[in-house]
Amino acid sequence: MGTVEPGYIALYRSGELEHRARAFEARLRSCRICPRECRVNRLKGKTGFCHSAYRPVVASVCAHHGEEPVLSGTRGSGAVFFGNCNMSCVYCQNHQISQDYKTQRCHEVDSHILAERMLYLQDELKCHNINFVSPSHFVPQLVQAVLAAVPMGFRLPLVYNTSSYDSVETLRELDGIISIYLADLRYASNKWSRKFSRVSDYVERSRAAIREMYRQVGDLVLDEAGLAQRGLIVRHLILPNGLAGSHDSFTWLVREVSPTVTVSIMSQYFPTHRAHQFPLLARKILPAEYSEVTGLIDRLGIVNGWVQEIDAAESYLPDFSRQDDPFSMGVSR
Ligand code: SF4
């Protein structure tokens, strides 16, 4: 367990956590939880772009040993994989759970069941944190689960592991609840985000979201065992043919957020799901593309973080038909 008491404990004691949970639930009546602003009544079972109604879809719960070392530590990061998504990436490695919403209906649970699974990850598997994966469309349900879990003895730091297609208004209400933001920076061009992820405003939305995350938690803070307690980690998946806009993204990050921000460079891109239908995405990255990004990191003076080895591509592909163990790989960062 972490040495720093997570902020949601004080919010629980003051009644603020319950207040926020209620306010979030009310916002589901005309959903604007994420930037899509579908305005559907999820309390009455209506669904918008994310195909998600009121109850959270929990596709998998497991100890994840393949996250960044400050998250996985020795006992794993307690991953809670939400089903469905508010993006729709043609190369999504989690497509089995993110884009097959009909199958995911059988994984709907109540918030108190989600709370019990968080307790399982804490007490049985002894994970170092709870890692909410793709949480952007289930933020109200996430907060309700934390509210239910605290009186049951839940104390782990919370990781918000996101595509960064998040609403700033929603993120503000997570201030003090989330300890660690693990945020993708996927594109520097809305042309590519529209074509490959069905998001027409990714660049401005994700950058505003990352600014807000950094405002809340700042640079990464580790405990004496080297485990993350608080802070922002920005993930960047290198895409083939420069589609991720690495130069623009990192230049923006250093200039507009902080040169001391922690980054995680991922070389694991593999053309899965529908990627083969798009020639620009139909291959792994080349050594030259990898070197270009690592050289860029050096030139910009980014010193905090990790660079994944280039041969990582296939070892990271999950299989969510193994619900309790979708990852069975050796990894290194
Ligand atoms: S969370 Fe889902 S329903 Fe709500 S605005 Fe986003 S995509 Fe639409």
DSSP letters of 315-328?
GG---TTSTT----
- Stated pTM of the model: 0.95
**Is it the case that residue 332 has pLDDT exceeding 50?**
no
Whole-number Å distance, alpha carbon 162 to ligand 1 midpoint, is 15
Q: Rounded to whole angstroms, how far apart are CA atoms 35 and 141?
A: 17
254-280: string of b/e by CB count within 10 Å (b at 16+)?
beebbeebbbbbbbbbbbbbbbeeeee
**Is it the case that residue 306 has pLDDT exceeding 50?**
yes
Q: Quick one: DSSP state of residue 259?
A: T
The answer, yes or no, to whether any atom of ligand 1 lies below 6 A from the CB of 137, is yes
**Is it the case that residue 262 has pLDDT exceeding 80?**
yes
Q: Cα 5 from chain centroid? A: 22
Q: Rounded to whole angstroms, how far apart are CA atoms 47 and 42?
A: 6
The answer, yes or no, to whether any atom of ligand 1 lies below 6 A from the CB of 236, is no
pLDDT tens digits, residue range 81-125? 999 999 999 999 999 999 988 888 889 999 999 999 999 999 999
Residue found by looking up tokens 């990894």 in the block? 331
Amino acid at 218: G
Residue closest by Cα to atom 6 of ligand 1: 34
pLDDT tens digits, residue range 18-52? 999 999 999 999 999 999 999 999 999 999 999 99
| 256-261 own/partner pairs: CB under 8 Å, 24+ apart | 256/207, 256/211, 257/210, 257/211, 257/214, 258/214, 258/219, 259/300, 259/301, 259/302, 260/219, 260/304, 261/214, 261/219, 261/232, 261/234, 261/302, 261/304
